[in-house]
Amino acid sequence: MKLPRLQLWLAVGVAAMTGALGALAAPAAHAAAGCRITYTVTNQWPGGFGANVIVDNLGDPISGWKLTWSFSAGQTITQLWNGAYTQSGSQVTVTNVDYNGGIPSGGSTSFGFNGSWNGSNPVPASFTLDGTACTGGVTSPSASPSASPTVSPSTSPSQPCDIYAAGGTPCVAAHSTTRALYGNYNGS
């Protein structure tokens, strides 16, 4: 059956609008996020110190990153390399530079800095990478932003494992898609 031209254009238009509305109603995809921070004071002298920070990406690949933390004893950064920083009071923000913005799944990057201190120089208590608390675990993606199940790392994160780890708990080394499917299948 041959449709008249006007009916054909209307049918195509309705199909296109239906597809567009369906895309708008679909839940947004979220990347699995997870990180581990290793903060090491490499040297210290009266009133000053040097530190190295390693950012391990335990989730999906990252393209451009921002790490934040707070100093608890009034420390200040005086010089930083392999990143760009701002500091407002105790709050520190370090962002990537052009050559270290991408961190693949399971990859890492690092930066170092010199700082000053007065009285004591404790290690920061917590770090946040792109809005995700760096706990050494992974937050799985979810269709609902309010439900973000946490996947615990295996007892030995350097050893390979699979989705059927002891107790049915997936390990961090599992591919992000597998983690996402597991989270959607089992719920939070």
- What's the confidence (pLDDT) of residue 179? 45
Identify whether 1 is part of a domain: no
Residue given tokens 């004893």 in the structure block:
73
User: Among 4-13, 58-67, 112-121, whose mean pLDDT is lowest?
Assistant: 4-13
Same domain? For 104 and 89 the reply is yes
Same domain? For 50 and 110 the reply is yes
* pLDDT band, residue 139 (cuts 50/70/90): confident
* pLDDT band, residue 137 (cuts 50/70/90): confident
Same domain? For 102 and 171 the reply is no
The domain that contains 112 carries what CATH number? 2.60.40.290
Same domain? For 65 and 124 the reply is yes
| Count of the separate structural domains present in the chain | 2
- What's the confidence (pLDDT) of residue 138? 83
Same domain? For 50 and 126 the reply is yes
- What's the confidence (pLDDT) of residue 178? 42
Identify whether 174 is part of a domain: yes
Identify whether 182 is part of a domain: yes
Containing domain of residue 76, as a range?
A: 33-133
pLDDT, mean of residues 23-39: 68
Q: What is the DSSP string of 133-174?
A: E-SSSEEPP-SSTT---EEPPPSSTTS---TT-GGGPPPTTS
Same domain? For 106 and 171 the reply is no
Name the residue type at position 85: Y
Q: pTM for the complete prediction?
A: 0.60
Q: How high is the mean pLDDT of the chain?
A: 74
